[in-house]
């Protein structure tokens, strides 16, 4: 951001002549947009997530939200001038494994130093637990229903999840569920009834794990109940 050096020079000259001191200009507070960062973006369920919000006008409040928890902190000064920071604060990670977004926002009553137009867009991706991928295939089975089958894998290796529930979603609706096979590492089989499938064309089916603090899944299968 370019400073208005001409205006600053004029103000300084007037101050010298009149003996009147001028407050620092708004653009002198910060020369960057507010910015959020996290120490570790991959954590365990419930673990503390450490975050910092830089380039905030000192004294202004910053609200940070992760999952259902919100923290409000006040920016403290950094060096001289109006520049401040919310430094090394913590917020608990959600209790369920998955992908989340940490969001920070500068309070509306904070002076608009150095372009706070993006104050609603400070985000950081947070991953809780380990991702499980459903590696498999599908086939048409009785009455043109579809069966999706395969193995639940962690880092491309079939993984023993015990008997964790796998749930199938179509257009955001939970339509079927099954359990991983405890006797066969990660093996699963789930049937999607024809009433949930498009009569013509493909249907996207998403497989997810039931609430779990250690693992999460979000694997898409594109199926078609029509016979070639």
Domain ranges of the chain: 32-128, 131-223
CATH topology of domain 32-128: Immunoglobulin-like (2.60.40)
Q: State CA 83 to chain mean position distance.
A: 27
32-128 and 131-223 share one fold? yes
Model pLDDT, residue 227: 63
Q: What is the CB neighbour count within 10 angstroms for residue 175? A: 16
Just give the CATH number of 131-223. Answer: 2.60.40.10
For residues 106 and 33, what is the distance between their CA atoms, to the nearest angstrom?
Answer: 11
Model pLDDT, residue 15: 41
Whole-prediction pTM? 0.78
Point out which residues pair with 90 in neighbouring strands: 50
The residues, ordered by sequence, that sit 6+ positions from 13 with a Cβ below 8 Å of its Cβ are none
Mean pLDDT of each 10-residue bin along the chain, 228 residues long: 40 42 40 87 97 90 96 86 88 97 90 56 94 96 92 93 94 96 91 94 96 94 83
For residues 54 and 164, what is the distance between their CA atoms, to the nearest angstrom?
Answer: 41
Model pLDDT, residue 111: 74
Task: Give the sign of the dihedral formed by CA 105, CA 106, CA 109, CA 114.
Answer: negative
């Amino acid at each position: 951001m370019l400073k208005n050096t001409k205006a600053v020079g004029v103000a300084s000259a007037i101050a010298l002549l009149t003996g009147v001191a001028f407050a620092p200009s708004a653009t002198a507070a910060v020369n960057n947009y507010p910015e959020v960062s996290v120490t570790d973006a991959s954590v365990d369920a419930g673990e503390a997530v450490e975050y910092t919000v830089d380039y905030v006008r000192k004294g202004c409040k910053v609200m940070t939200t992760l999952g259902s928890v919100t923290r409000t902190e006040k920016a403290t000064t950094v060096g001289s001038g109006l520049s401040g920071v919310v430094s090394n604060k913590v917020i608990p990670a959600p209790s369920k494994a998955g992908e989340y977004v940490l969001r920070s926002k500068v309070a509306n009553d904070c002076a608009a130093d150095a372009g706070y137009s993006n104050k609603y867009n400070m985000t950081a991706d947070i991953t809780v637990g380990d991702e499980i991928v459903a590696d498999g295939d599908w086939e048409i089975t009785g009455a043109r229903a579809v069966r999706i089958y395969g193995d639940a894998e962690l880092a491309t290796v079939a993984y023993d999840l015990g008997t964790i529930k796998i749930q199938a979603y179509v257009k955001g609706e939970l339509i079927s569920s099954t359990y991983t096979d405890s006797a066969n590492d990660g093996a699963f089989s789930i049937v999607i009834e024809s009433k949930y499938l498009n009569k013509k064309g493909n249907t996207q089916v998403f497989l997810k794990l039931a609430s779990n603090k250690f693992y999460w899944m979000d694997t898409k299968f594109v199926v078609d109940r029509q016979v070639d």
